Structure 1
Amino acid sequence: MIETDQVQEGWRERKRRETLDRIADTALTLFVKNGYDATTLDAIAEASGISRRTFFYYFKSKEEILATWQRELPETFRAAILAEPSGQHPFDVLQNAHLKLIANLDPQKSIAIYRIIRSSEYLLAMNQSKYLKLEQTAFEALRELWPDKSRMNAMRIVAMVSVGILRLSLENWAEGQEGKSLETYLKEEFEEMRKETLKL
């Protein structure tokens, strides 16, 4: 009986995840096609094949839909940092962790989301919190790897700079016409940072 209940629970969770992903994918398609502001919740629900009531079971707003694409980033980033081999410089640890993070991004969806966010001042402000969370995540993970209190401020600076590099790389990639990958942009920006640091 317990085993049957576990199977049913697993099936329900799988169906819930499938529905959530379908709504999010449908919303993204409509945002790109019609514009973020012009896309209504009713339109998303109808295109997803669900009722408005069912929609609100999964999401409370359009902003929450966009947030689903980023909800797992902090924990994924933290795990990547802590999994790095010891003996590296903190910047190298974060560069490698960033590369692991972006390896899981869907290029088309990522660029579409970037452009949607850029179209709205409200979404831009909301998106700022994503980078703040990543900065805090990086700092806390570095503190686990380098617990020396005398290096606390240095670890915070490293975390802030690395997330700034990620942000710049994402923007250049999404706006770029050179056909370079996000990985290439990220590596180039980290290398540029190292060169400039040596000049100080």
Structure 2
Amino acid sequence: MQTKTVEPNEWQPEGLRERKRRDTLQRITQVGLDLFLAAGYEATTLDDIAAAAGISRRTFFHYFKSKDEILLAWQMGMGDAVRDAVLEASTDQSPLEALCGALRKLASYFDTDTAIGIAQVLRSSDQLRAANQAKYTHIEHSAFESLCRLWPGRSRRGPLRMAAMAGVGAFRVAIDEWIDEGGKGALTKRIEKAFDDLRAALHGG
């Protein structure tokens, strides 16, 4: 009896609960996005989302306070993805090149129809446009912090912050132009061109 291991059995239920919560959160987010794209953001109700996700309205409020927060959850996920992609970059290049490569890598996974649809939703009201601005602020912060981890040192933080600001700005220009033209061409190429334009501007070209 004394050799019985009890700790893993005590930890497992908590791990299962956390996993279930994460899965439910992801399911609600995806269902919400799908409904926004299919029916429109304003026309989609909380009851619609809860029913499609197979949960009660009460359960919905355990995860989100409003449908706005579903978009926010998706947007925050973008920042996390940028951070992870930058941290995988090699330091045998400039920080700006590392950021460009990370953003191009992420863009290669984008589904065109979904990306354009969500962008149109985010442009549909002043409130959502403000949320879209917050998304890029979060991406910029994530990029900056990850660059600082790759190139540590207080003296580098200023230049790295400028690289993050300029790089995410180029990324935003590329996405806006790509969406305005209906997703014509590869987004990765748009990003590459935007960074080329940024380098030319920085060097007075």
**In the TM superposition, what is the alpha-carbon distance from 1:61 to its structure 2 partner?**
0.8
**In the TM superposition, what is the alpha-carbon distance from 1:152 to its structure 2 partner?**
4.3
Query: What do residues 5-42 of structure 1 show as CA deviations (whole Å, max 9, x unaligned)?
Result: 44443433333233222222222222123321222212
TM-score normalised to the size of structure 2? 0.82
**In the TM superposition, what is the alpha-carbon distance from 1:159 to its structure 2 partner?**
1.5
Equivalent residues, number: 199
**In the TM superposition, what is the alpha-carbon distance from 1:104 to its structure 2 partner?**
4.5
What is the alpha-carbon distance in structure 2 between the residues aligned to residue 122 and residue 178 of structure 1? 24
Correspondences of 1:23-172 after superposition (within 5 Å): 23-144=28-149, 145=151, 147=153, 149=155, 152-172=157-177
8 A contact 1:73–1:101 mirrored in 2 = no
TM-score normalised to the size of structure 1? 0.84
8 A contact 2:79–2:139 mirrored in 1 = yes
2:18 aligned residue: 13
Name the stretch that deviates more: 25-34 or 71-80.
71-80
Query: What do residues 71-91 of structure 1 show as CA deviations (whole Å, max 9, x unaligned)?
Result: 233333233333322231221
What is the alpha-carbon distance in structure 1 between the residues aligned to residue 182 and residue 116 of structure 2? 13
Q: Which runs of 5+ in 1 are unaligned?
A: none
Query: What do residues 88-144 of structure 1 show as CA deviations (whole Å, max 9, x unaligned)?
Result: 122111111212333444443322211110111101112211211222233333344
**In the TM superposition, what is the alpha-carbon distance from 1:52 to its structure 2 partner?**
0.9
Q: Which runs of 5+ in 2 are unaligned?
A: 1-5
Percent of residue pairs identical: 40
1:185 aligned residue: 190
What is the alpha-carbon distance in structure 1 between the residues aligned to residue 17 and residue 183 of structure 2? 45
* Residue of structure 2 aligned with 1:198, choices 187, 191, 203: 203
Name the stretch that deviates more: 44-53 or 75-84.
75-84
Superposed CA RMSD in Å reads 2.4
Query: What do residues 147-185 of structure 1 show as CA deviations (whole Å, max 9, x unaligned)?
Result: 362x54433322111001111122222232463122111
Name the stretch that deviates more: 3-12 or 88-97.
3-12
CA spacing shift, 1:155–1:21, aligned 2, 3 Å: closer
CA spacing shift, 1:3–1:185, aligned 2, 3 Å: same
